């Protein structure tokens, strides 16, 4: 038995025989000098036209079998094919250098692929795979190869391929493959997204681990852990058989709740949102069927780098997010840096007790320019999505007043520059300090929503550092004190007709969903994987 590790991008277990995908593209970039440039250009244009027709076909078929969101990628691919720079490069190579069309597309593809890989944003980086996919499709039409090799794969096989395009995923699905192994790839490529949506267990980035001599051998792949077993022994087979049985019972159950409204038997509508730390998690959130994003921890945009992100950089990220969420709510939490989340360039002084120190809104109000840069980016992006803004670590009425003044300043400045934005973005606060919980009657008059951050609320209410492993076993998120706080917060919020969500870890605890609903919680923001399980609990709950 051989064990290989890759990056699991679509969970699930597959067992089957390995099928090495025949690489028929080895000669695609065969180079020759063309004499009749005009004829070569029209050869290229016909291949491009055929690629458009193919993408239309894939759009229609994916729309029918999966839905609008999943089909959208093929529209994006159509736009990418027509990108001016991409076109110009290909045509220049044919016209000026007399390159044959397939070689010109191949070179341009590699150039754009590298360019996308250099981009600092993971979501944009994964578009590199899309450039490769559209280029390959054009090349396939130029050289007359295509999807025949996929269609001939035996159902139930585990396919290994050097790379896979999004369009091929749906053909693999139709061919009945059990799982996919890919040499390269990333979690956020559209191929990975579609593999997840179509439920094909998939591991990418397996590098050179899979050897030609494994072709035809029995394989188990675990799409969650990224483990691949070549010729697994009896014991491994038994373990996986058990895993499959319990997973399938649970999944069948949860899948029934996809697309359903989250309403209790008593008729109360609950919003079930997902938490997001990084835009690279977007695909998982979309696949989770969450009704929106209840907490975007934007500080992660400021971490892992050596300077503050510019307004433009942030604007592009929020804009993309808003567009991809397609009208669903996105609650953007302004940066909550400090304590355990900081970088050298921020130059924070060393503190004895950072959790009780310089963090969250305190940093923002002390550095209005950093804060306003983020607010400007969000307001500008508001034209492209359904945003709300939420402020962390609030302890006083004065902080809320100060925030509102800065928000008003930002809006005035944008108006003066004739920049478009939505005037009425809902503003909310996190209730994650005991002070905010007990003052929530006053705060509820000032904002449009509350979101309870039970992680910090527990830390500050129980006087237990959430980072300190010495007291980790005492850090009980289910401590009764927290439920008492929740009761007070909900009562005060509802008196002023504003909604209350929970975005801390407590919301993920499936054993207390009913209790939280009966306490009056209106919204759960949980990890994408918990969305359907929580929806099931909501739908089965009797609470009015
Ligand atoms: C919380 O404190 O519960 C919360 C959601 O915020 P974070 O975990 O980012 O501090
Ligand atoms: Mg917090």
% the chain with pLDDT above 70: 95
- Residue 190: exposed, middle, or buried by beta-carbon count in 10 A (0-12, 13-18, 19+)? buried
Q: Residue 21 is encoded by which pair of tokens?
A: 């995908």
Whose C-alpha lies nearest to ligand 1, atom 4?
Answer: 453
Q: What is the pLDDT of residues 436-469, one digit of tens each?
A: 999 999 999 999 999 999 999 999 999 998 877 6
Task: Return the bridge partners of 204, or none.
Answer: 7
User: Are the C-beta atoms of 251 and 479 separated by less than 8 Å?
Assistant: no
User: Are the C-beta atoms of 290 and 273 separated by less than 8 Å?
Assistant: yes
pLDDT band at 151 (very low <50, low <70, confident <90, very high): low
Q: Which atom, in ligand 1's list, is nearest to the CA of 451?
A: 5
pLDDT at 149: 63
Q: Which atom, in ligand 1's list, is nearest to the CA of 392?
A: 6
User: Are the C-beta atoms of 451 and 430 separated by less than 8 Å?
Assistant: yes
CA 339 to centroid of ligand 1, rounded, Å:
12
Task: Return the bridge partners of 386, or none.
Answer: 329
Q: Is 333 a pocket residue for ligand 1 (Cβ < 6 Å)?
A: no
Q: What is the pLDDT of residues 307-320, one digit of tens each?
A: 999 999 999 999 99
Q: Is 299 a pocket residue for ligand 1 (Cβ < 6 Å)?
A: no
Q: Which of 523, 531, 535, 456 is nearest to 490 (CA)?
A: 523
Between 170 and 528, the higher pLDDT residue: 528
% the chain with pLDDT above 90: 62
Please give the average per-residue pLDDT across 333-362, as a whole number.
90
For residue 364, indicate whether it is catalytic: no
Q: Report the alpha-carbon distance of residue 278 to residue 405 in Å, rounded.
A: 29
Q: What is the pLDDT of residues 5-39, one digit of tens each?
A: 998 988 889 999 999 875 444 445 566 788 899 99
Q: Residue 252 is encoded by which pair of tokens?
A: 């069948």
Average pLDDT, the chain: 90
User: Are the C-beta atoms of 295 and 276 separated by less than 8 Å?
Assistant: yes
CA 473 to centroid of ligand 1, rounded, Å:
19
Q: What is the pLDDT of residues 398-442, one digit of tens each?
A: 999 999 999 999 999 999 999 999 999 999 999 999 999 999 999
E-assigned strand segments in 89-246 = 158-161, 179-182, 202-204, 218-222, 227-230
Q: Report the alpha-carbon distance of residue 425 to residue 380 in Å, rounded.
A: 11
Q: Which atom, in ligand 1's list, is nearest to the CA of 295?
A: 5
DSSP 446: T
Q: Angle, to 10 degrees, between the axis of helix 368-381 and the axis of helix 311-325?
A: 40
Q: Is 503 a pocket residue for ligand 1 (Cβ < 6 Å)?
A: yes
Q: Is 455 a pocket residue for ligand 1 (Cβ < 6 Å)?
A: yes
DSSP 444: T
DSSP 204: E
Please give the average per-residue pLDDT across 265-287, as a whole number.
91
Between 252 and 535, the higher pLDDT residue: 535
Question: Would residue 326 be called left, alpha or beta, if left means φ above 0 and alpha means ψ between -120 and 50 degrees?
Answer: left
Cβ neighbors of 197 (< 8 A, separation 6 or more) are: 66, 70, 287
Q: Is 297 a pocket residue for ligand 1 (Cβ < 6 Å)?
A: yes
Cβ neighbors of 248 (< 8 A, separation 6 or more) are: none
Name the catalytic one among 190, 364, 418, 494.
Answer: 190
Does the structure show a pLDDT above 90 at 146?
no
Report which secondary-structure segment, H or E, holds 389: strand 386-391
DSSP 154: P
pLDDT at 421: 97
Q: Report the alpha-carbon distance of residue 183 to residue 189 in Å, rounded.
A: 13
Task: Return the bridge partners of 431, or none.
Answer: 452
DSSP 355: G
Q: Residue 293 is encoded by which pair of tokens?
A: 């994003």
Mutate to test the pocket of ligand 1, among 431, 456, 465 (most ligand atoms within 8 A of CB): 456
pLDDT at 197: 66
Q: Is 454 a pocket residue for ligand 1 (Cβ < 6 Å)?
A: yes
Q: Which atom, in ligand 1's list, is nearest to the CA of 459?
A: 2
User: Are the C-beta atoms of 308 and 345 separated by less than 8 Å?
Assistant: yes
Q: What is the pLDDT of residues 56-76, one digit of tens each?
A: 988 887 777 677 777 888 888
Question: Would residue 216 be called left, alpha or beta, if left means φ above 0 and alpha means ψ between -120 and 50 degrees?
Answer: left
Q: Report the alpha-carbon distance of residue 43 to residue 51 in Å, rounded.
A: 12
Report which secondary-structure segment, H or E, holds 429: strand 427-431
Q: How many CA atoms lie within 13 A of 411 on its CB side?
A: 12
CA 473 to centroid of ligand 2, rounded, Å:
19
Q: Report the alpha-carbon distance of residue 390 to residue 296 in Å, rounded.
A: 9
For residue 190, indicate whether it is catalytic: yes
Domains and CATH numbers, the chain: 2-21+149-239 (3.50.30.10), 37-143 (1.10.274.10), 271-540 (3.20.20.60)
Q: Which residues of 134-153 are buried (b: 16+ CB within 10 A; e: fewer)?
A: bbbbbbbbbbeebbebbeeb
Does the structure show a pLDDT above 80 at 472?
no
Q: Report the alpha-carbon distance of residue 47 to residue 138 in Å, rounded.
A: 6
């Amino acid at each position: 038995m051989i064990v290989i590790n890759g990056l699991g991008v679509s969970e699930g277990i597959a067992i089957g025989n390995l099928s090495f995908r025949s690489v028929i593209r080895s000669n695609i970039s065969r180079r020759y000098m063309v004499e009749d440039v005009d004829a070569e250009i029209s050869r290229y244009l016909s291949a491009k036209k055929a690629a458009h027709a193919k993408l239309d076909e894939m759009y229609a078929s994916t729309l029918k079998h999966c839905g609008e969101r999943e089909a959208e990628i093929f529209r994006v691919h159509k736009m990418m094919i027509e990108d001016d720079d991409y076109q110009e490069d290909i045509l220049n190579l044919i016209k000026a250098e007399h390159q044959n069309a397939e070689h010109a597309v191949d070179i341009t593809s590699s150039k754009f692929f590298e360019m996308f890989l250099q981009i600092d944003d993971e979501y944009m980086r994964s578009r590199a795979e899309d450039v490769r996919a559209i280029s390959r499709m054009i090349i396939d039409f130029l050289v007359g190869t295509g999807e025949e090799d996929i269609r001939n794969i035996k159902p139930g096989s585990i396919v290994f391929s050097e790379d896979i395009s999004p369009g091929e995923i749906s053909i693999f699905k139709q061919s009945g493959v059990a799982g996919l192994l890919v040499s390269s790839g990333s979690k956020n490529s559209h191929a990975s997204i579609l593999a997840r949506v179509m439920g094909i267990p998939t591991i990418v980035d397996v590098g050179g681990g899979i050897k030609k001599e494994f072709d035809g051998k029995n394989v188990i792949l675990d799409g969650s852990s990224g483990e691949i077993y070549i010729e697994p022994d009896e014991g491994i087979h038994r373990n996986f058989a058990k895993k499959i049985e319990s997973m399938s019972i649970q999944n069948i159950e949860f899948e029934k709740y996809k697309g359903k409204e989250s309403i209790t038997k008593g008729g109360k509508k609950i919003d079930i949102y997902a938490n997001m730390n990084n835009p690279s998690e977007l695909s998982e959130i979309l696949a989770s069927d969450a009704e929106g994003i209840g907490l975007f921890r934007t500080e992660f945009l400021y971490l892992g780098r050596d300077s503050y992100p510019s307004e433009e950089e942030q604007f592009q990220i929020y804009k993309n997010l808003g567009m991809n969420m397609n009208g669903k709510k996105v609650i953007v939490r302004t940066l909550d840096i400090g304590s355990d989340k900081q970088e050298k360039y921020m130059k924070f002084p060393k503190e004895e007790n950072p959790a009780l120190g310089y963090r969250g809104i305190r940093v923002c109000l002390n550095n209005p320019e950093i804060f306003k840069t983020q607010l400007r980016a969000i307001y500008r992006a508001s034209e492209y999505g359904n945003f709300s803004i939420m402020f962390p670590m609030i302890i006083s009425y004065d902080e809320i007043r100060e925030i509102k003044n800065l928000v008003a300043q930002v809006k005035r400045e944008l108006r003066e520059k004739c920049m478009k934005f939505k005037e009425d973005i809902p503003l909310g606060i996190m209730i994650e300090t005991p002070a905010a919980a007990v003052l929530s009657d006053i705060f509820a008059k000032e904002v449009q929503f509350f979101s309870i951050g039970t992680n910090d609320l527990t830390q500050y209410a129980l006087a237990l550092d959430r980072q300190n492993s010495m007291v980790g076993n005492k850090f009980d998120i289910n401590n009764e004190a927290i439920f008492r706080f929740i009761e007070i917060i909900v009562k005060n919020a509802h008196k002023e007709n504003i909604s209350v969500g929970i975005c801390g870890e407590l919301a993920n605890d499936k054993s207390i969903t009913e209790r939280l609903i009966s306490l009056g919680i209106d919204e759960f923001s949980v990890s994408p994987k918990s969305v359907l399980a929580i929806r099931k609990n909501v739908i089965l709950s009797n609470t009015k």
